Structure 1
Amino acid sequence: MVHSNDNDLLKLEFNNLLAEAQRCYGGISSHHLKKSLDVVQSAIATFGRVFALRVDLRCANDAIDEQCDMPLCFQRNDPKVITRFIAALNSRIKANLQRKGKSAKPDYPLYIWVRERDTSKYAHYHLVLFFNKDIYGYLGCYQDSDGENMGTRVQKAWCSALGLAYPDHKHLVHFPLNGSYVFNKRSMDLKPEHFNNFLNRLAYLCKTRTKIMNDGLRNFGSSQV
């Protein structure tokens, strides 16, 4: 049972995070921030120890310029592309665990994604993926196209979702600097510096400035928790 004092404390912490995010990034969707924190809490409750990974996904430049009639590539960048990406990543995780002889139901990652567009022709996606740290705890050497690690799985899943060849288009996946975090229930309670840094970076996904508001499509999605 959560006491009223606990609720007041949680509300205060949320308001402090929201205020700090607004100071750093401008307008913030409080609804998206609340949903994002719900996923963080669900990841901790589900996995115990959590490995969180920031990822950016972009579409290819498919023409030399807007007047060019000859496309450089044909990509499937429709609104379902992010759904295909999550499904492709889960499929690769399942296959990896089966090769290791782990036949139990896989701990698929939880996720948060946002769809944005700045000056580019196509939208791009910012994500946070949440893994069970006891199974997947590292990004790995994703520069090695033949490597078997979480970085290359993400790259292959995005290329698959776009219908583009790997490794030719693996550069469309970007892993931000210092974008890996490990935390647990104790982190949520004590708020060490690295966890506060993670929450601030999570809040970046909830900024409103570059969200696409007028095309009738979703610009935020997350695991159902």
Structure 2
Amino acid sequence: MFATPTLRHPENDKLCLYFNEFFQGYSVMQVDDGPLIENYLASALSTLQYCVEQQHLTFVVRFDLRFPAAMPRLSMHDNNEVLTRFFRHLRYELDRAGTKYTTKLRYIWAREQETSDKPHYHVMLLLNKNAVDRIGNKQPDEFGCYTRENLYHRASRSWLKAMGFDGDDPRFGQLVNVSRHPDTGNYWSAVIHRDDYFTMDDAMYMASYLCKAYTKPFGQGVRVFDTSRN
């Protein structure tokens, strides 16, 4: 006889574990280290669908936000206020970009921690493609700073400021990492048309990685997954 897999998360019985490769008709990423969390999959899909309904074209990209390796464990690592500050700074950056079209800052995020003394964040941004349609050059300028007016440099400045550093501080290298697609190994971003099932399917596949149960630090008493509200 085969053991029936546990359907509730052992550390939070309000969360349901999910073992299938499709969720409500969309592909999801089952990783080797364990199942996904169904509640988070539902929230991620709802957020993606809402964004696609609200705007004709949606630019989607996933970043990893990491703290400097040499940084000691600080009080900022005990809660998610640093992530709140990151979104506030990034919203300011997008507002001051002065593009012809505006964009709301919509997102999905997860807090994770495995062997490090500090957590890290995975963030999927969902933006109006008419305002933002590419990541841009990821390399710093000739002084090692992130001063360019593209999405990657704006996100890098926002993350540095969220941690309390200057936005052009050159000491730390790249702390914002663009996610790669597991099937191609290429840096991943996409533009979703509201009638484009296949790109939506790929975006849900990439979002589902944020929904994995493994490495979620439930014992820290802080939220480990959330989405924007509108």
**TM-score interval, normalised by the smaller of the two chains:** 0.7 to 0.9
> Does residue 214 of the first structure (1) align with residue 219 of the second (2)?
yes
> Does residue 112 of the first structure (1) align with residue 108 of the second (2)?
yes
TM-score, normalisation: structure 1 = 0.78
Q: Is the 8 A contact 1:159 1:170 kept in 2?
A: no
Matches of 2:66 and 2:50, distance apart in 1:
27
Aligned residues: 196
Matches of 1:23 and 1:209, distance apart in 2:
9
Deviation of 1:219 after TM superposition, in Å, equals 0.2
Q: Is the 8 A contact 1:114 1:221 kept in 2?
A: yes
Q: Which has the higher helix share?
A: 1
Which of 34, 39, 50 is matched with 1:42 structurally? 50
Deviation of 1:199 after TM superposition, in Å, equals 1.7
Which of 170, 174, 197 is matched with 1:171 structurally? 174
TM alignment of 1:42-121, pairs within 5 A: 42-62=50-70, 76-79=76-79, 80-97=81-98, 106-121=102-117
Letter in 2 for 1:157: S
Aligned CA RMSD, in angstroms, stands at: 2.5
Letter in 2 for 1:160: K
Residue 13 of structure 2: aligned partner: none
Q: Is the 8 A contact 2:44 2:204 kept in 1?
A: no
Matches of 1:111 and 1:218, distance apart in 2:
15
Matches of 2:95 and 2:26, distance apart in 1:
36
Q: Which has the higher strand share?
A: 2
Residue 141 of structure 1: aligned partner: 137
TM-score, normalisation: structure 2 = 0.76
Secondary structure at the residue paired with 1:167? coil
- Please say which of residues 46-55 and 76-85 is displaced more in the overlay: 76-85
Are residues 136 and 118 of structure 1, via their aligned partners in 2, closer, same or farther at CA, if it must alter by over 3 Å? same
Structure 2 gap segments, 5+ residues each: 1-21, 141-145, 181-186
Residue 14 of structure 1: aligned partner: 23
Letter in 2 for 1:58: R
Residue 183 of structure 2: aligned partner: none
> Does residue 185 of the first structure (1) align with residue 197 of the second (2)?
no
Secondary structure at the residue paired with 1:21? coil
Q: Which runs of 4+ in 1 moved over 3 A?
A: 15-18, 20-25, 73-78
Matches of 2:63 and 2:104, distance apart in 1:
16
Which of 41, 60, 68 is matched with 1:33 structurally? 41
Matches of 1:16 and 1:26, distance apart in 2:
21
Structure 1 gap segments, 5+ residues each: 1-12, 64-70
